[in-house]
Amino acid sequence: MNSSADYTKTSRMRTAQSRRSALRWLVHVTLISSAIVSLVLEPVLTLHVAFGLVFVLFVGFHLAQRRRISQRLAVRLLKVQKLLGPAGRLALADGFLFIITVAMLFSGFWDLWAPHHTKIRWHAITGVVLTIYLVVHTARRWRRLRFSQIR
């Protein structure tokens, strides 16, 4: 009787893990597709803004799914020696994704609502930096992307 209960518990744990993995995949697909669509539809301002906001929202979901790891990684940011290891580089990547996404959001709204155009196109600059970052980040993790886990 005990083995049946263990099997049921293990089965439920696998189902929950599978569901979390599917949600993580959905967030990744939404991030990639909203970034691409926002870039392609950049000339159509309303759609560019809408898909850009979807991207920002899902960056929040992406970081929230990794909240336990992100918290541990944030502590590593305070210890310079630990930044050189794989977990430290991951902490830097999460921090950079957050910062560049926030910069992109605010510079986009500034461009939209500023009474005059600025000489430095911050939104375009942050857009290029974010695009390069996303291409490199996705390409380096492409094989692991489908089966990544939420911890």
Q: Rounded mean pLDDT of 62-67?
A: 80
Helix-strand-coil split of the chain, %, nearest 5: 85, 0, 15
- In tens, the pLDDT along 69-82 reads 667 766 766 766 66
Would you place residue 6 in the very low, low, confident or very high pLDDT band (cuts 50, 70, 90)?
low
What is the model's pLDDT at position 81?
66
Which has the minimum average pLDDT: 60-64, 110-114, 122-126?
110-114
Contacts for 82-86: CB closer than 8 Å, 24+ residues apart: none
Please state the rounded mean pLDDT for residues 55-61: 92
Query: pLDDT-based confidence at 37, cuts 50/70/90?
Result: very high
pTM, 2 dp: 0.70
138 neighbors 11 (Cβ within 8 angstroms): no
State the pLDDT at residue 19: 80
Mean pLDDT across 125-147 = 82
Q: What is residue 58's predicted lDDT score, i.e. its pLDDT? A: 93
pLDDT score for 3: 63
In angstroms, the first-to-last Cα distance of the chain is 31
DSSP 8-state class, residue 42: T
Q: How sure is the predictor about 90, in pLDDT bands with cuts at 50, 70 and 90?
A: confident
* Residues 6+ positions from 31 with CB-CB distance below 8 Å: 55, 58, 59, 62, 134
Q: Does the pLDDT at position 52 exceed 90?
A: yes
